[in-house]
């Protein structure tokens, strides 16, 4: 298992050896199969980098001189499952045991200035394949089955320096694939690495070129960035280089000017702090919906800002405007409908708590808070608490105590009434029977009346609900013949 490379420290040699030993049942079997078929195979990219960083994983990226059709022939009968969704880009996916494996033909790719799809050209050299990769830390490989370590562009040195640097000139690399500019920000978030100044300068000069990349690819990189360990680092890079202005323009627009006459919080900085404080409350790993909501909760402020007498700045209804802006932006980025809906709803609700004051809400108002939040209530709790970024310790403590009180009231009412499952005390069929009406809009109106009654008064029983329904129907001019 020795790794023949003098540049590897003993610890790094051990890390690579452990990786190869762990994946040997899969990697070595594949390596022998490809060698017997007259082809090269190497473990490459993320798995090699992550092994050196002591970041375990079960996904394997392999590269070969075999064309995709030949790859399919070699793995036929060996893999547990095979998929060809990326075959037009030279990639065959497969599963073997617990490992997900992607095998990609040596290649180079570039974008036509007017096309959103990269043109893929196949290569014949591992060195040339590594040269076209995004960063030197992802351009290291271990040959299979011999385990020879390959590092032609100084990836090891960059790992030690925690630096992201392109193997080629950054201008050429980002021209070939503009998404690499976002990948720089994503890896900055995930790995905590700095980006080479030459690459940052190229990102700043070429930021507009990100518009040639499909919304789906941009979305995926943004999601990975947000779910990294330090999303602030990556977001700051997107904003600082101008990339955000082309794919998430609402974010840099939060940097509202502050002058001696119109003082207010830096909304951009506030949003990043809210994001960090929301992350600190996560319990089961990264929550993309919560993180998006924290980042975007105030994007309605620039549009709603107004100046009042005395230099006071207001942002009336920014949560409503922001919810609509969130829906538009996330839809444009091709996020799934459920994520768009959930994040937009959290943005809309994020100020609702501040009407609670020092506990003046009635039980009816608490019920409505829970009802309106629905399944998003746990996330709304986290977002609301994260939205407190005041440096006034007394004010922060008072807000925390008040929200503690609200959560206690929610817990008490939930235990008594199952708030999350509140329904009218008469269902649709019962409404029709009481009023003698057929299915139609009138049933929906009656249902809403009974739901509001339930929220306002709590459980009152079917007999009382029936009496109230009949009274309401008379006021509406309805009778059993309507």
For residue 137, what is the domain's CATH number?
Answer: 3.30.460.10
| 255 belongs to a structural domain | no
CB atoms within 10 A of CB 174: 25
Which has more confidence, 83 or 455? Answer: 83
| 399 belongs to a structural domain | yes
Half-sphere exposure in the Cβ direction for 98 (13 Å, CA): 6
Q: With a cut of 60, say whether residue 215 has pLDDT above it.
A: yes
Tens of pLDDT along 356-381?
777 788 888 888 898 889 899 999 99
Phi then psi for residue 379, to 5 deg, are -70, -40
pLDDT category, 184, cuts 50, 70, 90?
Answer: very high
Write down the pLDDT at residue 261: 41
Q: What is the mean pLDDT of residues 262-270?
A: 73
Chain centroid offset of residue 109 CA:
27
Mention every residue, 6+ apart, whose C-beta is less than 8 A from residue 456: 364
The reply to whether 84 and 148 lie within a common domain is yes
The reply to whether 297 and 352 lie within a common domain is yes
Write down the pLDDT at residue 224: 97
| 109 belongs to a structural domain | yes
pLDDT category, 117, cuts 50, 70, 90?
Answer: low
* Closest to 53 (Cα-Cα) out of 24, 14, 15, 18: 15
The reply to whether 294 and 407 lie within a common domain is yes
Write down the pLDDT at residue 389: 86
pLDDT category, 33, cuts 50, 70, 90?
Answer: very high
* Closest to 295 (Cα-Cα) out of 262, 242, 253: 253
Q: With a cut of 90, say whether residue 186 has pLDDT above it.
A: yes
Which has more confidence, 323 or 10? Answer: 323
The reply to whether 111 and 201 lie within a common domain is no
Write down the pLDDT at residue 423: 80
pLDDT category, 19, cuts 50, 70, 90?
Answer: confident
Write down the pLDDT at residue 257: 52
> Which of 397, 421, 445 finishes a domain?
421
DSSP letters, 316-343, are TTHHHHHHHHHHHHHHHTT--HHHHHHH
Q: What is the mean pLDDT of residues 443-449?
A: 88
CATH of the domain at 190: 1.10.110.30
Write down the pLDDT at residue 210: 96
Question: What does pLDDT average to over the chain?
Answer: 88
| 147 belongs to a structural domain | yes
Question: For residue 170, what are the domain limits?
Answer: 163-248
The reply to whether 280 and 411 lie within a common domain is yes
> Which of 421, 438, 459 finishes a domain?
421
Tens of pLDDT along 55-87?
877 788 999 999 999 999 999 999 999 999 889
| 92 belongs to a structural domain | yes
From CA 381, how far away is CA 400, in angstroms rounded? 11
Write down the pLDDT at residue 412: 86
| 299 belongs to a structural domain | yes
The reply to whether 320 and 409 lie within a common domain is yes
Write down the pLDDT at residue 123: 87
pLDDT category, 16, cuts 50, 70, 90?
Answer: confident
The reply to whether 312 and 168 lie within a common domain is no
The reply to whether 157 and 173 lie within a common domain is no
The reply to whether 183 and 111 lie within a common domain is no
> Which of 138, 161, 184 finishes a domain?
161
Which has more confidence, 115 or 326? Answer: 326
CATH of the domain at 410: 1.10.3210
The reply to whether 155 and 167 lie within a common domain is no
Write down the pLDDT at residue 198: 97
Cis peptide before 84 (omega within 30 of 0): no
The reply to whether 79 and 152 lie within a common domain is yes
The reply to whether 59 and 140 lie within a common domain is yes
| 259 belongs to a structural domain | no
From CA 270, how far away is CA 288, in angstroms rounded? 19
> Number of structural domains, the chain?
4
Q: Name the most confidently modeled range: 146-155, 272-281, 348-357.
A: 272-281
Q: With a cut of 50, say whether residue 259 has pLDDT above it.
A: no
Q: With a cut of 90, say whether residue 203 has pLDDT above it.
A: yes
| 253 belongs to a structural domain | no
From CA 299, how far away is CA 5, in angstroms rounded? 51
Q: Which two tokens stand for residue 383?
A: 């977002």
Write down the pLDDT at residue 3: 38
Q: With a cut of 60, say whether residue 392 has pLDDT above it.
A: yes
Alpha helix positions (H), 89-169: 126-131, 155-161
């Amino acid at each position: 298992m020795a790794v023949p490379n003098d540049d590897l420290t003993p610890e790094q040699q051990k890390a690579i050896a452990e990786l190869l030993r762990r994946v040997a049942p899969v990697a070595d079997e594949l390596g022998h199969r490809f060698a017997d078929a007259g082809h090269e195979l190497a473990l490459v990219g993320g798995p090699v980098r992550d092994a050196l960083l002591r970041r375990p994983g079960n996904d394997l990226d392999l590269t070969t001189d075999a064309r995709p059709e030949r790859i399919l022939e070699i793995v036929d009968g060996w893999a547990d499952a095979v998929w060809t969704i990326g075959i037009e880009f030279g990639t065959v996916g497969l599963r073997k045991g617990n490992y997900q494996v992607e095998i990609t033909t040596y290649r180079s790719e570039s974008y036509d200035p007017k096309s959103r799809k990269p043109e893929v050209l196949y290569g014949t050299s591992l060195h040339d394949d590594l040269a076209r990769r995004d960063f030197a830390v992802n351009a290291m490989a271990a040959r299979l089955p011999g385990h020879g370590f390959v590092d032609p562009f100084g990836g090891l040195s960059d790992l030690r320096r925690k630096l992201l640097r392109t193997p080629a000139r950054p201008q050429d690399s980002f021209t070939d694939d503009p998404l690499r500019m976002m990948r720089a920000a994503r890896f900055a978030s995930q790995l905590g690495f700095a980006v080479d100044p030459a690459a940052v300068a190229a990102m700043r000069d070429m930021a507009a070129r990100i518009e040639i990349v499909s919304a789906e690819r941009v979305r995926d990189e943004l999601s990975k960035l947000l779910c990294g360990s330090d999303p602030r680092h990556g977001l700051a890079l997107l904003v600082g280089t101008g990339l955000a202005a082309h794919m998430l323009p609402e974010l840099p627009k939060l940097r509202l000017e502050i002058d001696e006459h119109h003082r207010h919080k830096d909304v951009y900085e506030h949003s990043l702090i809210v994001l960090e404080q929301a992350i600190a409350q996560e319990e089961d790993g990264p929550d993309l919906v919560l993180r998006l909501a924290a980042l975007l909760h105030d994007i309605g402020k620039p549009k709603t800002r107004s100046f009042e007498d005395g230099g006071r700045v207001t942002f009336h209804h920014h949560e409503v405007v922001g919810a609509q802006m969130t829906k538009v932006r996330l839809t444009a980025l091709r996020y799934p409908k459920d994520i768009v809906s959930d994040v937009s709803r959290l943005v809309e609700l994020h100020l609702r708590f501040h009407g609670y004051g020092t506990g003046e809400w009635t039980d009816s108002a608490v019920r409505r808070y829970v009802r309106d939040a629905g399944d998003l209530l746990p996330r709304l709790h986290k977002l609301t608490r994260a939205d407190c970024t005041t440096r006034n310790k007394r004010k922060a403590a008072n807000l925390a105590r008040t929200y503690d009180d609200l959560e206690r009231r929610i817990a008490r009412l939930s235990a008594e009434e199952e708030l999350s499952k509140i329904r009218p005390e008469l269902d649709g069929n019962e409404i029709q029977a009481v009023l003698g009406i057929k299915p139609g809009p009138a049933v929906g109106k009656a249902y809403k009346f009974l739901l509001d009654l339930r929220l306002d008064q709590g459980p009152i029983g079917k007999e009382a609900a029936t009496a109230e329904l009949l009274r309401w129907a008379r006021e509406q001019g309805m009778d059993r013949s309507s």
